Structure 1
Amino acid sequence: MTHPSTTVTPKVVLVTGAGSGIGEATARRLAAAGHHVVLGARRIDRLAALAKDIEDRAGSAFAHVLDVTDPASVRSFVGAAHDRYGRVDVLVNNAGVMPLSRLDALRVDEWDRMIDVNLRGVLYGIAAVLPIMRAQHAGHIVNLSSVSGLRVDPTAAVYSATKHAVRALSEGLRQESRDLRVTVISPGLTRSELTGSIGDSDVKDAVEQQMDIAIPAAAIGEAILYAITQPADVDVNELVVRPTAQG
């Protein structure tokens, strides 16, 4: 699925949750392929270090602080990218949290956080880029769902609900669009910082015991690169990327 950078027309790609995990790996892979990456996350120090490392490797990167749960912050992030480059070609809605727990644990604050980041954050990103992409008559929105958006497991009810919702709104946006492309990426077990948000120690231990088969975050970055570098008349609607050993 790799594409030599010499054959790629550089695109301006905005990546949310770019400070670690899939977001960081995606930014590195796209920059290595010759794209301009705009890095968004709350930890600006980590973003600045990542941007410098990409630039030191002859890539193009720009860091901007971002809180996807704040519509004004999302608009500022998108606006800064548009001001700098004059266009927005791709938005990768990657930011997410996964504090798994049983429903009867009643961790309501964690439910709210998942809805705010995983669902509202995606919607705020779409709202911020759609006017720009409509005016350009071109654009690509890549939404990160999960294999939990294809199934439901104990402890993952709310997380799965948010990821099912991401797939639903992505399909609705795709059907409403004739000049925009929409892609859903659904990773399986992937090495990232997501397990760090699990507050229930028993659930966290159970998940971490499965991570020995997890694929690197770079595998998801490769899938995103594949989707965004297809010809303009080809829309890769959905990619599911699991470890071979995952049931």
Structure 2
Amino acid sequence: MQIKDSVIIVTGASAGIGWATAVALANLGATVVATARRGERLQALAEEMADSHGRIHPFPGNIQDETFCHQLVHETVERYGRLDVLINNAGLGHKSRIAEMPTADIRTIFDTNVMGLLYTIQAAVPQMKQQGGGQIINVSSIISQRPIPYGGIYTASKTAVNFISRTLRMELRPYHITVTLVYPGRTQTEFGAALLGQKGANPSAFGRTSPEKVAQAIVKAIRHGRTELYVTPGDWLFSHVNRLFPRATDWLTNFVINRYLNQKSDKIET
């Protein structure tokens, strides 16, 4: 798909991967409707990109609200005439043992990572069908393919995203709607910093991939209609080693967790 002059919604655009993706797409001439809860950050993004080849339209709100998601899509189409790409990037996480995590936090994670994603998809699909096609890009996580201690609920929510996306891909193919999964690994985002910024953690050991690199992977997915995309060769290798040699992945996971993540519970958010 050509990015120039495309109309694209990006959720979770106030920081990290969402911010970098909005910047990359605007620089390529897209109209980006950027949404997140932090309206002041979205306004700063729009001002920063005022001289870009495209445009940033800030649209603050909470994707946990189904009504807001329908309003987001409706007003995008009313203003710009179409919706070419929906990028579901917004996400919440929590580092905690499953048995000890407050149920309210579990519900909030699923409300954002799964229900919010479904709300935007259900709002966008009728428009994409009507216009003859489009693309939905869901940002998952490399650990959705391998559960890790202290990240079970986040992993479960992203695994749900994977299966939703793969099922949608089959259901929407007759309507020329492409559904793409992107699997970022360790990224330098506010999400990761909130987890790794605790006492005793080592951010440099995890912050290996910049949000800009993930954004470029998303750009590639749009241009080439990719359906599943790993951001780095290491992410691809991890996924395939996990499938072929699960014991080796067990050892690697335990090594990383014991070295860096065996700390108190902490909520993280993007």
Q: 1:76 aligns with which of 71, 78, 87?
A: 71
Q: 1:227 aligns with which of 221, 227, 239?
A: 221
Indicate the SS of the match to 1:76.
helix
Task: Tell me which amino acid in the other structure corresponds to 1:56.
Answer: D
Task: Tell me which amino acid in the other structure corresponds to 1:238.
Answer: E
Aligned runs of 1:97-108 on 2, under 5 Å? Answer: 97-108=92-103
- Alignment-derived partner of residue 25 in structure 1: 20
Which runs of 5 or more structure 2 residues have no equivalent in the other structure? 239-251, 253-270
Query: Given that residues 145 and 167 in structure 1 are in contact (C-alpha distance below 8 angstroms), is that contact kept between their aligned partners in structure 2?
Result: yes
- Alignment-derived partner of residue 46 in structure 1: 41
Q: 1:183 aligns with which of 154, 157, 180?
A: 180
**Structure 2 vs 1, CA of residues 196 and 72 (structure 1 numbering), >3 Å: closer, same or farther?**
farther
* Partners of 1:8 and 1:243 in 2: CA distance: 25
Task: Tell me which amino acid in the other structure corresponds to 1:49.
Answer: A
Task: Tell me which amino acid in the other structure corresponds to 2:214.
Answer: I
Indicate the SS of the match to 1:52.
helix
CA deviation map 1:16-67 (0-9, x unaligned): 0000000000000011111111110111111011112112334311111121
Query: Given that residues 14 and 39 in structure 1 are in contact (C-alpha distance below 8 angstroms), is that contact kept between their aligned partners in structure 2?
Result: yes
**Structure 2 vs 1, CA of residues 174 and 222 (structure 1 numbering), >3 Å: closer, same or farther?**
same
CA deviation map 1:69-91 (0-9, x unaligned): 00011111111211110000000
Task: Tell me which amino acid in the other structure corresponds to 2:179.
Answer: V
- Alignment-derived partner of residue 173 in structure 1: 168
Task: Tell me which amino acid in the other structure corresponds to 1:39.
Answer: A
Indicate the SS of the match to 1:30.
helix
Q: 2:150 aligns with which of 155, 162, 172?
A: 155
CA RMSD of aligned residues (A): 2.3
TM-superposed CA distance for 1:172, in Å, is 0.4
Corresponding pairs, count:
235
Task: Tell me which amino acid in the other structure corresponds to 1:214.
Answer: R
CA deviation map 1:102-127 (0-9, x unaligned): 11323322211110111111101101
Aligned runs of 1:57-96 on 2, under 5 Å? Answer: 57-96=52-91
Matched, 1:216 2:210: yes
TM-superposed CA distance for 1:198, in Å, is 4.6
Query: Given that residues 184 and 238 in structure 1 are in contact (C-alpha distance below 8 angstroms), is that contact kept between their aligned partners in structure 2?
Result: yes
Larger Rg over CA atoms: 2
TM-superposed CA distance for 1:99, in Å, is 1.4
Q: 1:238 aligns with which of 222, 228, 236?
A: 228
CA deviation map 1:189-240 (0-9, x unaligned): 00111135559957xx5473632x421100111011111112xxxx311012
**Structure 2 vs 1, CA of residues 125 and 188 (structure 1 numbering), >3 Å: closer, same or farther?**
same
